[in-house]
Structure 1
Amino acid sequence: MVANKIIAEKSVYLFSYFKGNGEDGLHLAYSEDGYKWLSLKKDASFLTPEVGKDKLMRDPCIIKGGDGLYHMVWTVSWTDKGIGYASSKDLIHWSKQEFLPVMAHENGTRNTWAPEITYDEVNKEYMIYWASTIVGKFPETQSTEDSGYNHRIYYTTTKDFKTYSPTKLLYEPGFNVIDSSILKDGKGYIMFLKDETKVPAQKNLKVAYSDKLTGPYSKASAPITGNYWAEGPTAIKIEGKWLVYFDKYRDHKYGALKQTDNGWEDVSDKMVFPSGIRHGSVFEVPKSMLEQLMKE
C-alpha cells in the first residue's frame, strides 16, 4: 500500500550535526518522537569535508528540495568568504562538494558562518543565508567584544544551484546577529535567530516574522531562551507546535524549547542527545530512508 502511494509512508526525524571543530564532517542522528535522539553509523561521519580554506564541515543544514534531492550547506572555515554545498538522493552518496564564494565581492568580509537553506514553494527557488561581518559596516553596534565581530544576515537565491542572485542584506535588527533559521509558518515565515550582543550580555534566541521569505522581517522579539548562553537554533513542528533545538554552548549541553499557548517552555530535561552534538538542523525523512541509513 505504501509502495503504491495509497497510504502515506511514516516519517521520522533526522538531525544533521558536527562534532569537535567540524574536521571529520557530517554526523546524523534520528528520532521517532523528537525527544530521544540516537546517532547513526556509530556516530562516525557520513561525509568528509573537502572544500574551503580550512576544510571544515560545521553547522550542516540539510533540507529536502522541490526536486526531491536533499540539499546541504555548511561552514567551511572560521575566516573564509564562502560556504560549502552538496546534494544527495539518499544522504549516503553525495554530489561533488562545491565552494560557493557568496561574500567574495566584499573585500572587508571577515567570515561566512552558519549558512542555512529554505525552499520557497511558491517561487520554486531556494534562499541560502548566513551571518557575515564586513569591516566598517554598522558602526553603531561595533564593539571590541567578541574579537570585534559585528554580523548581519545576508542571502542569495537560486533555482538550480548553478546560477545565484547577487548577495543582499536579509536582516539588520539593530544588533549583532547570527544563526538565523527560517521556516514556513502558516501563510508566512518565522525566523529563529541569535542576538550575539556581549555587552550588555544578550547571547539569547529571539524570533522575527515575515510574509515573504526574502523579507522584510519584523523587529526581533524578546528573548525566548533563559538565563544561559544559547546559539544554533533549528526547529520543527510536532503536533502543530514548534520544537526548537539549540546549543547551550557554555554549559556544553544541548537544549530544547517547546512552543505553548502561553509562550515557550524549556523541555531540555526531556531530551536525549548523542554525546558531543553541536549546531545542526532537524528535518523529516521517510522511514524507509532511515532503514537504509541504519545499514551504513
Structure 2
Amino acid sequence: MPGPEEELNRTARTLLALLGPLLLVLLGVPALQGTAAAAAPPTGQATRYTMTAFTNSSESNMYVYDSPDATGFTLRKGPAYTPPSGLIRDPSIFKHTDGFYYLTYTTNWTGNTIGFARSTDRVNWTFLYNYTIPISGLTRTWAPEWFIDTDGSVNIIVSLTAASTATHFTAYKITATNSALTTWSTPIQLSGIGPNYIDTFLVKIGSTYHAFTKNETTKYIEYATASSLTGPYTMRKTGDWAGFGDWVEGPALVQLDNGGWRIYYDGYRAGKYWYSDSYDNFATWSTPTEVPGLTGFIRHATVLKETVSGGVTLSTNTTRSLQSVNFPGRYAVVRSDSLGYLDPVSASSSTAVKQSATFTVMPGLADANCYSFRDSSGRYLRHWDFRVRFDSSNGTDTFKKDATYCARPGTASGSVRLESYNYPGRYLRHYNYALRVDLYQNTDTFRADSSFTLVSPWT
C-alpha cells in the first residue's frame, strides 16, 4: 500500500487535474496555458539553470551557480562580479538576443539608480553603467527584475518609493527603447499592486500576466494577475495562501522540464532559502524545501533557464544492467517481492539473478526525451511511496510519470543519475541496499549513492 505522503499527493493531484480548471474559472483565476508542451531537451542537448545571488556575507559581491535540474547547484564563480562602487543586491539575469548575458541590480540602500553589467559566459562580468530612474524625489530603488514580454520587449520591473523610510513601495516597469539596452522608457506604475508591495516578479503564460510580490506590511508573498503588463492587477491570493510562510521575499520563478513551475524565495528572517513547486495553475504548492547547499548563504537570487548542448544520452531499445558507482559489485535488481534492490551479481550468479539485473532502456513513458526501464517480464521500474518497485503499466498518466526518469551526469566518468520525472529533485538511489527515489542532498555520499553506470547486460 502507498504511504500517506505520496498517496495524499496522488489524490490531490488527481482531483485538481479534474476539478482545478473549473474551480479556477468559478473563482475568476485565469488558467495557465502551454504547460503541457513542456519537455526535456532532445538528444545532444540539456537544460541548464543559472543562478545569480548576493550572499549573507557580502552585499557587494555576486556569486554564480548552475544546475542541470534546478535543485542541486554548483558554484561556477564566487565572487563573480563586484561593481566599481556600491552594492549588488538582488541581481537579476537574462540572455539578450545579442548573445550577451545582462545583469540588473540594486546599487544601494538609498538612491534612485539601478546597475547594469554584461557577460559573454555568465561568470565573468563587465560593469556597464548605473541608470537613474527619472522620477523626482525617489529615496529607494530596489529589486529590479528582467521581464521579457512575448512581443520581444525587454522590460525591468522595479520597486520604488519616495518615503523617508523603507515603506510604501510600488512596482513600476521601464522598457528598453534600443537594442543596446542603454535607453529606457518613462516609468509606468503597475496598477493594482500596492501600496507597499516590493520584489515583484512576473511571468506571462498565454495572455495572462502573473505577479508574485511581497506584501511589505504582512511579510507574505502574494499573487495577482492581469491581462496587461501594466495592469490593472487583481490580487488573487493573499496571506500565507501557498504555505511559503511569513518574513519571506525575493520570489523568482522558472518552469521545469515536466511543465511544473518552481518558485525560489528568501526566508530572510529565518536565514534560509527555499523552493516550492506547482502543477495546478499556481493554486497549490509543494511543501517548501531548502535549496541544498545554498540555504543560509545566498540571498535574493534569480534563475535563468536555457537549453544548451551536451547532457547525458542513453541508448534506447537496448538491454543494460545498472551498476552502482560506489559499490561496483552490486547492481540494480528486482527481487521476487517486486521491489528494487542493489544486490551483488557476478559471473557465478544464477541465471535468475542475472536476469533480475537486466533491463531494457526505453524512451520515457511520460516524456520520450527521458527514460523508462523495463524488466524481462514487461514490468517497469517505478516509484511508489518513494520506494522503487516493478509493476506492469496500467496506462495512466500517473504510472507513466512514476516510471519516467531524466538522465543527469553522475559522479564518475560515463555514469548517470536518474531524476524522477514527476518529483523533480528526487533521484533513484540506494539506501541500505534498497532502491528509493530520495530528495537530493548536497553530500558526496548521496551523489555517489545515486550514480549508476549502464553496462553490458548480464543476460
Q: TM-score, normalised by structure 2?
A: 0.53
Match of residue 235, structure 2, among 187, 195, 219? 219
Equivalent position of 2:219 in the other structure: 203
Match of residue 84, structure 2, among 43, 50, 55? 50
Conserved? CA contact 2:259–2:279, under 8 Å: no
Conserved? CA contact 1:65–1:119, under 8 Å: no
Residue deviations 1:160-203 (CA, integer Å, cap 9, x gap): 21221111212443441000111222333211111111xxxx21
Equivalent position of 2:338 in the other structure: none
Return the letter of the residue paired with 2:306: V
With over 3 angstroms needed to count, the CA separation of the structure-2 counterparts of 1:8 and 1:288, relative to structure 1, is closer
Residue deviations 1:131-165 (CA, integer Å, cap 9, x gap): 111239xxxxxxxxxx4611111121114212211
With over 3 angstroms needed to count, the CA separation of the structure-2 counterparts of 1:97 and 1:148, relative to structure 1, is closer
Return the letter of the residue paired with 1:105: I
How many Å separate the matches in 2 of 1:173 and 1:119? 19
Unaligned runs of 5+ in 1: 1-5, 137-146, 291-296
Match of residue 162, structure 2, among 134, 144, 147? 134
Superposition pairs of residues 73-92 of structure 1, within 5 angstroms? 73-92=104-123
Q: In the alignment, does 2:141 pair up with 1:112?
A: yes
Superposition pairs of residues 217-256 of structure 1, within 5 angstroms? 217-222=233-238, 223-238=241-256, 239-256=258-275
How many Å separate the matches in 1 of 2:166 and 2:200? 20
Equivalent position of 1:191 in the other structure: 211
Return the letter of the residue paired with 1:241: G
Equivalent position of 1:12 in the other structure: 48
Report how far residue 56 of structure 1 moved.
Answer: 0.5
Equivalent position of 2:453 in the other structure: none
Aligned residue pair count:
262
With over 3 angstroms needed to count, the CA separation of the structure-2 counterparts of 1:260 and 1:105, relative to structure 1, is closer
With over 3 angstroms needed to count, the CA separation of the structure-2 counterparts of 1:47 and 1:289, relative to structure 1, is farther
Equivalent position of 1:278 in the other structure: 299
Conserved? CA contact 2:51–2:303, under 8 Å: yes
Equivalent position of 1:25 in the other structure: 61
Equivalent position of 2:444 in the other structure: none
Q: TM-score, normalised by structure 1?
A: 0.80
Superposition pairs of residues 93-104 of structure 1, within 5 angstroms? 93-102=124-133, 104=134
Equivalent position of 1:264 in the other structure: 285
Q: Which structure's CA Rg is the greater one?
A: 2
Conserved? CA contact 1:248–1:254, under 8 Å: yes
Return the letter of the residue paired with 2:73: W
Give the match's secondary structure for 1:112.
strand
With over 3 angstroms needed to count, the CA separation of the structure-2 counterparts of 1:21 and 1:172, relative to structure 1, is farther
How many Å separate the matches in 2 of 1:148 and 1:100? 21
Conserved? CA contact 2:76–2:123, under 8 Å: no
Percent sequence identity over aligned pairs: 29
Return the letter of the residue paired with 1:285: E
Equivalent position of 1:151 in the other structure: 169
Give the match's secondary structure for 1:263.
coil
Equivalent position of 1:140 in the other structure: none
With over 3 angstroms needed to count, the CA separation of the structure-2 counterparts of 1:249 and 1:93, relative to structure 1, is closer
With over 3 angstroms needed to count, the CA separation of the structure-2 counterparts of 1:9 and 1:213, relative to structure 1, is farther
Report how far residue 93 of structure 1 moved.
Answer: 3.8
Unaligned runs of 5+ in 2: 1-41, 312-459
Residue deviations 1:101-128 (CA, integer Å, cap 9, x gap): 01x4312x11000101111231x32111
Report how far residue 283 of structure 1 moved.
Answer: 1.0
Over aligned residues, Cα RMSD in angstroms? 2.4
